[in-house]
Amino acid sequence: MTESGFSHVSERDAAPTFRASWGASSAAGSVRTLNEDAYLARFPVFVVADGMGGHEAGELASAEAVAALGRLAGRTDVTARTVQECLEEAQDRVRAIPTSPGRDAGTTVSGVVAVNESGVPYWLVVNVGDSRTYRLADGVLEQVSVDHSEVQEMVDAGMLTVAEAARHPRRHVVTQALGAGDGFDPDFWLLPVEENDRMLLCTDGLTGELGDDAIAAILLAQPAPKAAADLLVEAALVAGGRDNVTVVVVDAHDVARTADEESTSPRGGRSQDNYPDVDDEDTVPRARHREQGEH
Ligand code: MG
């Protein structure tokens, strides 16, 4: 499942313009028969979703999230509030999926929506769960989203290093997912769109197999977004492919005006080691993890 495209944004009233080009790639991996990941790459909305819930529920959950956000495709008036409303609709749609007792359907969502704020183009970064949004700028790859995961909480509390978190047995336990648990509180960040920005959206099937340095090397070596997405998925499969892996790469060119506005609280860049000793790559919501008595 792969896709690519491009778009030239041209707002009314001489608003800023930029040209986006993108490519996406997704694979079930070497172990799983179903691909419970999904993605949407239709300007101005680019997201990945990693479904969970067993049987076909995870596949349906990620598809419902993508379908709800798909209402933003082609629009030029999108705001954070619009995205929030779509996420709430996605939540309702995921909760309506019939599931086995104790196995709620859920899905992560991570990605960017290109928006204009006061005449300036921004990436509106949105995240729920442990899929990730990165930005490659000036040769440096930086994770923008912050994982909603137990190990991220332990990193924040100073109990684990990032490298330890990557190998921790509870690394797949998410603290937020659309549809699962009591609710969700998505993170939003606004980043000014800069010339030659490259945004990377990925499910944990990529970051579970490749460290940030390996990901950055591929993004820097391959200028075409579609080829970069394909190569990242291929590298994750070569590294083991123990989970579904989905990648969307979005490039920004011909940015008519760059912004001096401060961006809102992006997390600093983090580096990770490779961590190849993984057997079970199931992402699970925290409550269910506890019910199953796993450690
Ligand atoms: Mg996954």
C-alpha 52 to ligand 1 mean position (Å)? 8
Question: Who has greater pLDDT, 54 or 249?
Answer: 249
C-alpha 207 to ligand 1 mean position (Å)? 9
C-alpha 283 to ligand 1 mean position (Å)? 6
pLDDT reading at 283 higher than 80: no
C-alpha 172 to ligand 1 mean position (Å)? 8
What would the pLDDT profile of 105-163 be if each residue is shown by its tens digit? 999 999 999 998 777 899 999 999 999 999 999 999 999 999 999 999 999 999 999 88
| pLDDT for the residue 5 | 72
C-alpha 254 to ligand 1 mean position (Å)? 34
C-alpha 86 to ligand 1 mean position (Å)? 22
What would the pLDDT profile of 146-158 be if each residue is shown by its tens digit? 999 999 999 999 9
Average pLDDT, the chain: 84
List of domains in the chain: 2-291 (3.60.40.10)
| pLDDT for the residue 286 | 65
C-alpha 231 to ligand 1 mean position (Å)? 18
Output the 3-class SS for the chain. CEEEEEEECCCHHHCCCCEEEEEEEEECCCCCCCCCEEEEEECCEEEEEEEECCCCHHHHHHHHHHHHHHHHCCCCCCCHHHHHHHHHHHHHHHHCCCCCCCCCCEECEEEEEEEEECCEEEEEEEEECCCEEEEEECCEEEECCCCCEHHHHHHHCCCCCHHHHHHCCCCCEECCCECCCCCCCCEEEEEECCCCCEEEEECHHHHCCCCHHHHHHHHHHCCCHHHHHHHHHHHHHHCCCCCCEEEEEEEEECCCCCCCCCCCCCCCCCCCCCCCCCCCCCCEEHHHHHHCCCC
pLDDT reading at 91 higher than 50: yes
pTM for the predicted model, two decimal places: 0.84
pLDDT reading at 3 higher than 90: no
